């Protein structure tokens, strides 16, 4: 058996390694990536920094704002884990793999809470941001296309901006990774007058066709 494996260019099982790319290809449909984006709120007394946890289903590119917190302690992600594994409304389903970085807030209790519902956590190696490139890229889009264009005064305003951007991202923004289709799957008409519609006072624009 060892000779057969050697002739095929494969190492014996105990020495065989699986690349990150191979792992993603095998688990792609069930992979969810998570990362934090930091946002500064302008207050009367100065600046308040808050943290937003963003999740993304890699296969569908669908994104979800899992929560906003002043300072994420280890207890906060545990509650997020409970919320996102809810059978009816949770973003994480049984059998999912959750990719996250090595931030201390993703502690053992967080992992155990997810594991109890059938979700496996995958901690990235140190100094390897490229391994979580998809969610890193969408966070950059959220910043450049939305958050960096506003002076944000409150969490309520931040929640509104994120809600509008997520709706735009899913329903109105074509995605190259999906063959320039919409995430929602609702494609526009191929004929008719072109109409421009906007969100956030014209910051986000999208176009569709209407009859007449």
Q: Does residue 195 register a pLDDT over 70? A: yes
Q: In what order do the strands lie in the sheet with 31-43?
A: 63-69, 46-57, 31-43, 97-100, 120-123
Among residues of the chain, what percentage have pLDDT more than 90? 56
* Backbone dihedral angles phi then psi of residue 169, each to the nearest 5 degrees: -60, -40
Is residue 20 pLDDT above 70, yes or no? no
pLDDT band (50, 70, 90) for residue 194: confident
| Beta carbons within 10 angstroms of residue 185's beta carbon | 10
Q: Give the residue among 204, 123, 117, 126 at the shortest CA–CA distance from 163.
A: 204
Q: Report residue 192's pLDDT band, with 50, 70 and 90 as the boundaries.
A: confident
Q: Which of the 8 DSSP states describes residue 181?
A: B
Q: Which residues pair with 68 in a beta bridge?
A: 52
Identify the architecture of domain 20-174 in CATH: 2-Layer Sandwich (3.30)
Q: Is pLDDT above 60 for 3? A: no
pLDDT tens, position by position, 124-161: 888 776 788 999 999 999 999 999 999 999 999 999 99
* pLDDT mean across residues, the chain: 86
């Amino acid at each position: 058996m060892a000779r057969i494996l050697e002739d095929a260019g494969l190492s014996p099982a105990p020495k065989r390694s699986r690349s990150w790319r191979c792992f993603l290809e095998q688990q792609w449909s069930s992979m969810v990536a998570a990362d934090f984006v930091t946002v500064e709120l302008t207050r009367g007394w100065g600046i308040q920094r808050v943290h937003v946890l963003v999740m993304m289903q890699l296969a569908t590119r669908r994104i979800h704002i899992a929560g906003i917190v002043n300072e994420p302690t280890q207890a906060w992600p545990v509650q997020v884990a409970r919320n996102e594994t809810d059978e009816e409304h949770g973003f994480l389903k049984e059998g999912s793999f959750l990719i996250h970085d090595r931030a201390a807030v993703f502690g053992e209790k967080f992992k155990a809470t997810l594991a109890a519902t059938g979700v496996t956590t995958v901690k990235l190696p140190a100094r390897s941001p490229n391994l979580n490139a998809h969610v890193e890229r969408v966070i950059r889009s959220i910043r450049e296309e939305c958050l960096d264009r506003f002076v944000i005064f409150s969490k309520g305003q931040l929640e509104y901006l994120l809600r509008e951007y997520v709706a735009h991202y899913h329903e109105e923004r074509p995605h190259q990774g999906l063959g320039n289709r919409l995430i929602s799957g609702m494609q526009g008409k191929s004929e008719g007058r072109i109409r421009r519609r906007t969100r956030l006072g014209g910051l986000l624009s999208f176009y569709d066709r209407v009859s007449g």
